[in-house]
């Protein structure tokens, strides 16, 4: 059964290597019930709000199966929370979840909303944690399994060990993986994003701009912002 393996939170800490001099990327696993509010988990706080946080990035999920894949790739263990995910899941392919899919975990209802864009701070964190961070952003992007950001539809509580129940699947077929590739490595997928009724505004703007350029006969449609932050 799909479930939450680990719940991970972090507060801002001073870090001279971080873009703004502090970071919340270092997450710690917590036991027992954790309150889930509109902006995320109790005990978790975003440091750089220019690029992170807000209702559309309230909770970040990553599968332990993907952490294990990276462990083989990197040659050492990658424990839950290493990728700064709030929820480490097991038994579900989170990257094949459809955008807009809803999960019941504990008493909270969460909705798959967006995708993570790897940044240079993530790269620095991996290096400082003892992993091979060479070309990390490009490597992470190339794999195309970013894990989803979740919106909180109903506030509540959850904890490690809770079942993860998919209670709604929109049926349009646009998955987390599709969204990520469209925004990072394969612009030809951008038109598909417009099949998502409540697509996040940034992704919708990029998809609409691409489609409009095609209609106008433009041959020079720029790629969306590459994952280089």
Assign domain 3-186 to its CATH architecture.
Answer: Beta Barrel (2.40)
DSSP letters for 40-55: EETT---S-TTTS-SG
DSSP state, 171? S
pLDDT value of residue 129: 95
Written as six digits, the tokens of 75 are: 């040659």
pLDDT value of residue 107: 98
pLDDT value of residue 51: 67
pLDDT value of residue 229: 34
Share of the chain above pLDDT 70, in %: 93
For the chain (229 residues), the mean pLDDT of every run of 10, in chain order, is 97 85 90 97 81 88 98 97 97 98 98 92 94 94 96 98 98 97 95 97 96 80 44
Kindly report the pTM of this predicted structure: 0.92
Phi first, then psi: give them for residue 23, nearest 5 degrees: -155, 155
Angle at the Cα of 98 from the Cα atoms of 89 and 61, rounded to 5 degrees: 25
- Indicate the domain borders of the chain: 3-186
Written as six digits, the tokens of 10 are: 């972090």
Angle at the Cα of 102 from the Cα atoms of 182 and 137, rounded to 5 degrees: 35
Q: What gap in Å lies between CA 99 and CA 148, rounded to an integer?
A: 9
Count the alpha carbons within 13 Å of 60 in the hemisphere toward its beta carbon. Answer: 27
Q: What gap in Å lies between CA 90 and CA 98, rounded to an integer?
A: 17
When the pLDDT of each residue in the chain is averaged and rounded to a whole number, the result is: 92
pLDDT value of residue 53: 72
Q: What gap in Å lies between CA 86 and CA 52, rounded to an integer?
A: 13
Summarised one tens digit per residue, pLDDT across range 65-113 is 999 999 999 999 999 999 999 999 999 999 999 999 999 999 999 999 9
pLDDT value of residue 119: 86
Decide the pairing of beta strands 22-23 and 13-14.
Answer: antiparallel
Decide the pairing of beta strands 87-90 and 59-63.
Answer: parallel
Question: Which residues pair with residue 40 across a beta bridge?
Answer: 37
Decide the pairing of beta strands 108-115 and 102-105.
Answer: antiparallel
């Amino acid at each position: 059964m799909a479930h939450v393996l680990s719940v991970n939170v972090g507060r801002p800490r001073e870090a001279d290597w971080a873009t703004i001099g502090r970071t919340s990327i270092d997450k710690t696993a917590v036991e027992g019930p954790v309150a889930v509010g509109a902006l995320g988990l109790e005990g978790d706080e975003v440091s750089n709000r220019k690029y992170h946080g807000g209702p559309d990035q309230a909770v970040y999920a990553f599968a332990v199966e993907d952490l294990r894949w990276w462990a083989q790739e990197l040659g050492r263990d990658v424990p839950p929370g290493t990728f700064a995910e709030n929820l480490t899941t097991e038994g579900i392919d989170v990257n094949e979840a459809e955008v807009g899919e809803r999960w019941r975990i504990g008493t909270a209802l969460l909705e798959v909303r967006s995708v993570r864009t790897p940044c240079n701070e993530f790269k620095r964190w991996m290096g400082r944690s003892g992993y091979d961070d060479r070309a990390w952003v490009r490597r992470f992007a190339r794999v195309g399994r970013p894990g989803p950001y979740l919106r909180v539809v109903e506030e509540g509580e959850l904890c490690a060990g809770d079942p993860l129940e998919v209670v709604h699947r929109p049926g349009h077929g646009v998955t987390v993986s599709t969204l990520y590739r469209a925004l990072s490595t394969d612009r030809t997928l951008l038109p598909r994003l417009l099949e998502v009724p409540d697509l996040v505004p940034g992704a919708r703007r990029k998809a609409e701009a691409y489609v409009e350029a095609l209609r106008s006969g433009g041959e020079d449609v720029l790629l969306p912002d590459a994952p280089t932050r």
